[in-house]
């Protein structure tokens, strides 16, 4: 095997997921082209490569690297070059020069053993010392982990996550029990753990392998929205995926049931297998919902109908009978569910309900599942509204990264109003209900015809279908004016009728795309040229939102965002640690309860800082700091969050997002590329949800055949849940009709 030692002068190509790179490496004689797997490589590093020289027919002489090791540079110039490369977070070119001038060749020893000495330099405080030290140690350890794991298909990002969980014990933990990865490390699944285990000699019929595989199959299934998996389906999937017999699976399912890790229960003639968190959540939601219903509330000693009439007179409106039913029901009942599509007056009803309770001297708290939905609720009512997470002050354990909720901390109010209730999954609903005191009124408002929650469960649908709670369904359309085509067409779609397309002075347009490539070009032309000319007040980044059914493909989220980033934010500067650019539109992709933010503008009495950014929140990159390897993002127009490099995988470009991710949001202009795809992503409620996100204009681009198919297709992914069954069972047992 040949040996090549040199300094990395350039990274020609780098695949972040696989860590495959093509690099230029310079030895004492010449610059070589080398290719191989190089996790966390940086320009300026000195490497020793082991492999062989090959002659490529097109690219000429190359060095094919099989393994490598890093040599810490010893010359002052080499050390400065290495530190300037971004290999260590918190050190950029300016800081690198100062460190080398101050500490010389001892700098690496000082970082590792005496990091406090770094504060002798101006501009380096406790925070930066900690960042530099942790980055240096982490980089070294992660590279060691990668040397062990890279042959098993573990990506650099996954190696970093393993290190976050197990630290310096990572390799030992994996060797001892590789299946611990799928149980305890986010984003590392059973298949990767199983591949490692097989290479370490663990057999197919190992009980621990089968038990870990069973959990994997259940979690994968429930990630699609269910709260349990039918046992027969689990057995079929288990035999196929785990390559073991039915008997072994039955034995291990029973073993996990005996250890109280799984539960078997018959739901509507289907024997279901539950993991305990979803089982407990659905039982708890049932208990709390029926508690609020059956315990009742104190009657309001006020003339509700007179107050409604006063509200009508003040606002120059006249409520329909169904709207009056919704308002009076909210005042009289412990629980009220109000559902209806766009234009049916849900917001006006909420405003009237607020007015009545405030005149009655009752304290009302309002919330919604997402920050954007909460903000829209605040703007529409003129009252404070928060995300449910902030309303009930959800936090996380820093040790186990699990959601924590203090049941003793209940909401101090008389009435809770929740908007966009169709988006609430069973886990969030459980935490919300546990925070509501007995005798508190709960009003849920939403559109049951929209997509169900991204998380598991179909809470609003199950609650309505149980028949146990007062429900008012609004169908009459009140919203008129320039939004009428968006509103009218949304209701046409919801009843299976094709929308009216391209009418004169319409706000609902369809543009034919001959194929995916043609549709993509027309979307780009619309956002860069045609729509800005149509209305100069629209901001091309903030006011336009592309919504698409899927993530992959030419018209999927991934490709659309790459193309749109180049078209809408063309300032291209290469950073050592991120592909983001200042000005990029981004979305938070997971709930991060601990990340801190600071207010850039605030009203009197508001705290200057806080914590928590949540899945689906959209922001804009305001700064990228190469010295500290941080990216600053502005959320909700007033909160700045500083992301360190290791947390950037929580962000993704958001010029285009999936229709699922758009729930609870509203945008001035919505563009939807339409094309034939998998039937489950070509459904009526998907296109209905997309259309109802638009406030001023919607443009569909692509195939009219695809639009027609979606409107006719009412088949959706069948979620298995037990909430409706549990509510109905309790009501039957207590004899309530």
- On whether 343 is known to bind a ligand per the annotation, the reply is yes
Q: Is the pLDDT of residue 357 over 80?
A: yes
SS3 535: coil
Residue 460 CB neighbours (<10 A): 25
Question: End-to-end distance of the chain based on CA atoms, in angstroms?
Answer: 80
Residue 605: pLDDT band by 50, 70, 90 thresholds?
low
Cα separation, 101 vs 514, in Å, equals 62
Residue 185: pLDDT band by 50, 70, 90 thresholds?
confident
> Which residues is 442 bridged to in the sheet?
335, 416
- Domain assignments of the chain as residue spans, ordered by start: 2-149, 176-272, 296-396+407-474, 481-549+659-722, 581-653
SS3 257: helix
For the four alpha carbons of 173, 174, 175 and 180, in that order, the dihedral sign comes to: positive
Nearest alpha-carbon partner for 351 in 386, 375, 381, 373? 381
> Which residues is 587 bridged to in the sheet?
618, 652
Q: Average pLDDT, whole number, for the chain?
A: 88
Cα separation, 483 vs 666, in Å, equals 13
Residue 580 CB neighbours (<10 A): 20
pLDDT digits (tens, 9 = 90+) for 695-731: 899 999 999 999 999 999 987 778 999 999 999 999 9
pLDDT score, position 556: 93
Cα separation, 554 vs 695, in Å, equals 27
Q: Is the pLDDT of residue 595 over 50?
A: yes
Nearest alpha-carbon partner for 452 in 444, 462, 443? 462
Cα separation, 227 vs 279, in Å, equals 7
Nearest alpha-carbon partner for 254 in 289, 219, 207? 207
Distance of CA 173 to the CA centre of its chain: 29
Average pLDDT over residues 59-68: 86
Q: 726 φ, ψ to 5°?
A: -65, -45
Tokens 């082209």 sit on residue: 33
Cα separation, 357 vs 440, in Å, equals 12
Check: CB of residue 33 under 8 Å from CB of residue 45.
no
Cα separation, 473 vs 656, in Å, equals 32
- On whether 344 is known to bind a ligand per the annotation, the reply is yes
Lowest mean pLDDT among 66-75, 241-250, 561-570: 66-75
Estimate the crossing angle of helix 76-84 against helix 93-103, to 10 degrees. Answer: 150
SS3 441: strand
Check: CB of residue 64 under 8 Å from CB of residue 49.
no
- On whether 345 is known to bind a ligand per the annotation, the reply is yes
> In b/e form, how buried is each residue of 540-564, taking b as 16+ CB within 10 angstroms?
bbebbbbbbbbbebebbbebbbebb
Q: Is 343 left (phi over 0), alpha (psi -120 to 50) or beta?
A: left
For the four alpha carbons of 101, 105, 111 and 113, in that order, the dihedral sign comes to: negative
Residue 58: pLDDT band by 50, 70, 90 thresholds?
confident
Average pLDDT over residues 263-281: 95
Cα separation, 449 vs 453, in Å, equals 12
Lowest mean pLDDT among 111-125, 147-161, 532-546, 644-658: 147-161
CATH among 1.20.1260.10, 1.10.10.2220, 3.40.50.2000, 2.30.40.10 for 176-272: 1.10.10.2220
Nearest alpha-carbon partner for 238 in 258, 212, 259, 256? 212
pLDDT score, position 727: 96
Residue 144: partners with Cβ closer than 8 Å, 6 or more residues away: 171
Which residue blocks in 495-556 are alpha helix, DSSP H? 516-525, 531-534
Q: Is the pLDDT of residue 140 over 80?
A: no
Q: Is the pLDDT of residue 290 over 70?
A: yes
> In b/e form, how buried is each residue of 107-120, taking b as 16+ CB within 10 angstroms?
bbebbeeebebbee
CA distance readout (Å), 489 to 340, 351, 484, 534, 570: 15, 26, 8, 22, 36
pLDDT score, position 319: 93
pLDDT score, position 259: 94
Residue 397: pLDDT band by 50, 70, 90 thresholds?
very low
Nearest alpha-carbon partner for 600 in 620, 617, 580? 620
Residue 75: pLDDT band by 50, 70, 90 thresholds?
confident
Q: Is the pLDDT of residue 607 over 50?
A: yes
pLDDT score, position 736: 54
SS3 587: strand
Lowest mean pLDDT among 257-266, 330-339, 397-406, 578-587: 397-406
> How much of the chain exceeds pLDDT 90, in percent?
55
pLDDT score, position 400: 38
Q: 178 φ, ψ to 5°?
A: -65, -25
Q: Is the pLDDT of residue 403 over 60?
A: no
pLDDT digits (tens, 9 = 90+) for 423-457: 999 999 999 999 999 999 999 999 998 888 888 99
Check: CB of residue 174 under 8 Å from CB of residue 162.
yes
Lowest mean pLDDT among 182-196, 393-407, 531-545, 648-662: 393-407
pLDDT score, position 150: 62
**DSSP symbols for 589-633:** -S-EEEEEEEESS--TT--SEEEEE-TT-EEEEEEEETTTTEEEE
> How much of the chain exceeds pLDDT 70, in percent?
93
The reply to whether 481-549+659-722 shares the fold of 296-396+407-474 is yes
Q: What strand order describes the sheet that includes 651-653?
A: 609-613, 592-599, 639-644, 630-635, 618-625, 585-588, 651-653
Q: Is 702 left (phi over 0), alpha (psi -120 to 50) or beta?
A: left
User: Which tops the pLDDT comparison, 223 or 480?
Assistant: 223
Please provide the CATH number assigned to the domain covering 2-149: 2.40.50
User: Which tops the pLDDT comparison, 183 or 464?
Assistant: 464
Q: Kindly report the three-state secondary structure assignment for every residue of 405-423.
A: CCCCCCCCCCEEEECCHHH
Q: Is the pLDDT of residue 539 over 90?
A: yes
SS3 551: coil
Cα separation, 339 vs 439, in Å, equals 23
CB-count burial class (<10 Å; 0-12, 13-18, 19+) for 427: buried
Cα separation, 611 vs 140, in Å, equals 30
Residue count of the chain: 737
Please provide the CATH number assigned to the domain covering 481-549+659-722: 3.40.50.300
Structure tokens at 702: 């692509």
Residue 398: pLDDT band by 50, 70, 90 thresholds?
very low
SS3 287: helix
Cα separation, 654 vs 636, in Å, equals 14
> Which residues is 25 bridged to in the sheet?
8, 32
Cα separation, 419 vs 664, in Å, equals 9
- On whether 127 is known to bind a ligand per the annotation, the reply is no
SS3 213: helix
Q: Is the pLDDT of residue 177 over 50?
A: yes
Q: Is the pLDDT of residue 145 over 50?
A: yes
- On whether 261 is known to bind a ligand per the annotation, the reply is no
pLDDT digits (tens, 9 = 90+) for 648-671: 888 999 999 999 888 878 899 999
CATH among 3.40.190.10, 3.40.50.1860, 3.40.50.300, 3.10.20.30 for 296-396+407-474: 3.40.50.300
Residue 402: pLDDT band by 50, 70, 90 thresholds?
very low
Check: CB of residue 225 under 8 Å from CB of residue 452.
yes
Cα separation, 433 vs 444, in Å, equals 12
Check: CB of residue 20 under 8 Å from CB of residue 35.
yes
Nearest alpha-carbon partner for 556 in 658, 651, 652? 658
Cα separation, 134 vs 201, in Å, equals 34
> Which residues is 546 bridged to in the sheet?
656, 671
């Amino acid at each position: 095997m040949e040996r090549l030692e040199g300094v990395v002068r350039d990274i020609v190509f780098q695949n972040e997921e696989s860590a495959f790179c093509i690099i230029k490496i310079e030895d004492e004689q010449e610059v070589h082209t080398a290719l191989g797997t190089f996790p966390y490589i940086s320009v300026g590093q000195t490497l020793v490569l082991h492999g062989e020289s090959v002659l490529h027919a097109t690219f000429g002489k190359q060095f094919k690297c099989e393994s490598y090791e890093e040599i810490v540079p010893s010359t002052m110039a080499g050390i400065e070059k290495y530190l300037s490369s971004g290999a260590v977070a918190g050190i950029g070119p300016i800081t690198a020069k100062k460190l080398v001038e101050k500490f010389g060749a001892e700098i690496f020893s000082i970082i590792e053993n005496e990091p406090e000495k770094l504060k002798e330099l101006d501009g380096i405080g406790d925070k930066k010392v900690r960042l530099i030290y942790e980055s240096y140690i982490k980089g070294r350890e992660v590279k060691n982990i990668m040397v062990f794991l890279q042959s098993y298909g573990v990506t650099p990002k996954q190696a970093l996550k393993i290190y976050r969980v197990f630290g310096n014990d990572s390799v030992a933990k994996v060797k001892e029990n590789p299946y611990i990865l799928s149980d305890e490390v986010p984003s590392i699944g059973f298949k990767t753990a199983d591949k490692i285990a097989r290479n370490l000699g663990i057999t197919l019929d190992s009980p621990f392998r089968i038990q870990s595989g069973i959990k994997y199959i259940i979690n994968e299934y429930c990630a699609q929205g269910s709260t349990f998996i039918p046992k027969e389906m689990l057995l079929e999937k288990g035999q196929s995926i785990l390559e073991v017999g039915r008997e072994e699976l039955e034995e291990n399912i029973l073993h996990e049931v005996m250890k109280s890790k799984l539960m078997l229960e018959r739901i509507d003639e289907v024997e279901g297998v539950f993991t305990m968190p979803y089982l407990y959540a659905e039982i708890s939601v049932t208990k709390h919902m029926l508690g609020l219903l059956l315990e009742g509330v104190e009657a309001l000693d006020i003339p509700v109908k007179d107050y409604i009439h006063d509200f009508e007179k003040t606002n120059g409106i006249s409520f329909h009978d169904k709207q009056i039913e919704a308002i009076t029901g909210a005042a009289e009942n412990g629980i009220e569910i109000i559902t209806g599509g766009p234009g049916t007056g849900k917001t006006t009803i909420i405003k009237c309900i607020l007015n009545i309770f405030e005149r009655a001297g009752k304290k009302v708290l309002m919330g919604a599942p997402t920050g954007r939905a909460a903000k829209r609720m605040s703007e529409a009512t003129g009252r404070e509204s928060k995300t449910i997470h902030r309303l009930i002050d959800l936090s996380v354990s820093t040790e186990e990264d699990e959601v924590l909720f203090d049941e003793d901390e209940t909401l101090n109010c008389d009435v809770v109003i929740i908007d966009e209730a169709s988006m609430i999954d069973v886990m969030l609903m459980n935490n919300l209900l546990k925070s509501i005191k007995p005798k508190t009124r709960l009003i849920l408002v939403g559109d049951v015809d929209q997509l169900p929650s991204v998380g598991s469960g179909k809470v609003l649908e199950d609650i309505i279908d149980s028949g146990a709670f007062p429900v008012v369904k609004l169908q009459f359309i009140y919203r008129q004016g320039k939004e009428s085509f968006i509103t009218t067409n949304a209701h046409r779609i919801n009843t299976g009728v094709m929308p009216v397309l391209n009418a004169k002075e319409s706000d609902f347009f369809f543009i034919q795309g001959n194929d995916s490539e043609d549709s993509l070009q027309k979307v780009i032309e619309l956002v860069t040229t045609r729509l800005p000319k149509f209305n100069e007040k629209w901001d091309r980044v903030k006011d336009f939102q592309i919504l698409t059914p899927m993530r992959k493909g030419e018209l999927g989220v991934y490709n659309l965002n790459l193309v749109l980033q180049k078209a809408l934010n063309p300032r291209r500067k290469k950073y050592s640690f991120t592909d983001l650019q200042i000005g990029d539109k981004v979305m938070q992709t997971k709930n991060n309860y601990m990340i801190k933010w600071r207010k850039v503008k605030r009203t009197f009495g508001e705290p200057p800082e806080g914590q928590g950014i949540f899945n689906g929140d959209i922001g804009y990159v305001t700064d990228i700091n190469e010295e500290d390897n941080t990216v600053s993002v502005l959320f909700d127009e007033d909160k700045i969050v500083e992301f360190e490099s290791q947390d950037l995988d929580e962000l993704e470009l958001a010029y285009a997002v999936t229709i699922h991710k758009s729930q609870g949001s509203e945008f001035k202009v919505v563009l939807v590329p339409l094309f034939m795809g998998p039937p489950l992503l070509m459904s009526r409620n998907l296109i209905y949800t997309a259309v109802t996100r638009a406030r001023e204009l919607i443009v569909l681009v692509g195939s009219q055949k695809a639009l027609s198919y979606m409107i006719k297709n009412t088949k959706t992914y069948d979620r298995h849940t037990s909430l409706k069954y549990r509510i109905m069972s309790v009501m039957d047992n207590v004899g309530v009709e």
